Amino acid sequence: MAQQIPRFISRRFRQQASLFCRFSAPVPRPFAPPPKVPALRRTYASTGESGPNPNPGQNPFKIWPFVAIFAAGTGAYVLMVNQRIDMAPTDKKQIPAPKKGTPTFSPDKVTVLFVLGGPGAGKGTQCANLVRDYNFTHLSAGDLLRAEQDREGSEFGDLIKDYIKEGRIVPMEVTVQLLENAITDVVRAAPSGKGKFLIDGFPRKMDQAIKFEETVCPSKFVLFYDCPEEEMQKRLLNRGKTSGRSDDNAESIQKRFKTFVETSMPVVDYFASQGRVVKVVATKSPAEVYKETKEGLEKRLGKIF
């Protein structure tokens, strides 16, 4: 079977066409006139076959290899586009980008500190100390989500359950709304209309950080607990014995670490680039970590704030 592909077609395409030709039956062309010229020679046969055209009744210049090349190229392109779509985070497909807006609360009246750190870094423990000594209200994003998950009639219950088990970040609209509701309740109940909040485990993703500061309240800074994974894993597995949490098991922990490194650390880096991070080494004893926490906090806000 003789095939001829013009030289201007790239080598790769010619190889593809060659492959295609080898696995395809020749297409009969009953109306082609009998050839008068000597048959063309193969220029790329891998079988070593050469010499005169063995099918003199057929026009050696065929159109279908070009059609095959075009189809293969189109197929590859469609495949590539589809892969890109699959790689996009699913929440991006459904949820619009955050809109600009005025924050509901002024930072003059409402003090917000974000508390970040890997899972098991000790955020909850240190927040409890800060609540005791500085009269903060502690809002754990994870606790609010778990409460919403368990609330009868919640339309987000199943969604939250899946995200938490997989160690993924729940779409920001849900979490930001839960936080805003909780802050509103406290500020409304305070005669001064003021409040001090530790927002624990939030923002874990850039979109949350931007949305919250634009629409709810700008934070003073991020308290970041830095702890190596081996230490955090040890603590989490230990906590898992009694916590009853669906994500305190080895498999979920690994997923949470991955989300933390890939999605949450960029948030810490973003605030650090603005000089808005107080970093505390979280490997020592809880008392020592707290001492460092207090020092870092008072350096920024003073003893009374």
Interface with Mg ion (CB under 5 A): 124
Query: Smallest Cα–Cα separation from 300: which of 198, 221, 201?
Result: 221
CB of 123 to Mg ion, least distance (A): 5
- Residue 113: strand pairing partners: 198, 221
C-alpha dist (Å) from residue 252 to 11, 88, 146, 248 = 48, 22, 16, 7
Closest CA to 22 of 44, 52, 53, 1: 1
295: tokens are 């020092």
Please identify, using beta-carbon distances, which residue of 53 and 259 lies nearer to Mg ion. 259
User: Beta 195-200 vs 137-140: how paired, if at all?
Assistant: parallel
Q: DSSP E strands: which ranges in the chain?
A: 110-117, 137-140, 195-200, 221-226, 277-281
Which of residues 65, 98, 142, 240 is near ligand UDP by CB under 6 A?
Answer: 142
Decide which of ligand UDP, Mg ion, none touches 167; Cβ closer than 5 to 8 Å per partner kind.
ligand UDP
Region 199-218 residues binding ligand UDP, contact defined as CB under 6 A: 201-202, 204, 208
The one-letter amino acid at 174: V
Residue 280 touches ligand UDP, criterion: CB under 6 A: no
Distance between CA atoms of residues 297 and 158, nearest Å: 38
Is 168 marked as binding a ligand? yes
Going residue by residue from 167 to 196, which x/- string records binding to ligand UDP, judged by CB under 6 A?
Answer: xxxx----x---------------------
Q: Is 202 one of the annotated binding-site residues?
A: yes
- Assess contact for 235 and 283: CB atoms under 8 A: no
Choose, by CB under 6 A, the member of 60, 119, 122, 240 that binds ligand UDP.
119
> Shortest Cβ distance from residue 5 to ligand UDP (Å)?
55
Q: Tell me if 122 contacts ligand UDP by CB under 6 A.
A: no
Q: How far is CA 120 from the centre of its chain?
A: 21
For 32: left if phi > 0, alpha if psi spans -120 to 50, otherwise beta; the answer is beta
Indicate whether 223 belongs to the interface with ligand UDP (CB under 6 A): no
Annotated binding site: 120-125, 146, 168-170, 201-204, 208, 239, 245, 256, 284
Residues annotated as binding site for a ribonucleoside 5'-phosphate? Answer: 146, 168-170, 201-204, 208, 245, 256
Using CB under 6 A as the criterion, which residues of the chain lie in contact with ligand UDP when the complex forms?
119-120, 123-124, 140-142, 145, 163-164, 167-170, 175, 201-202, 204, 208, 247, 256
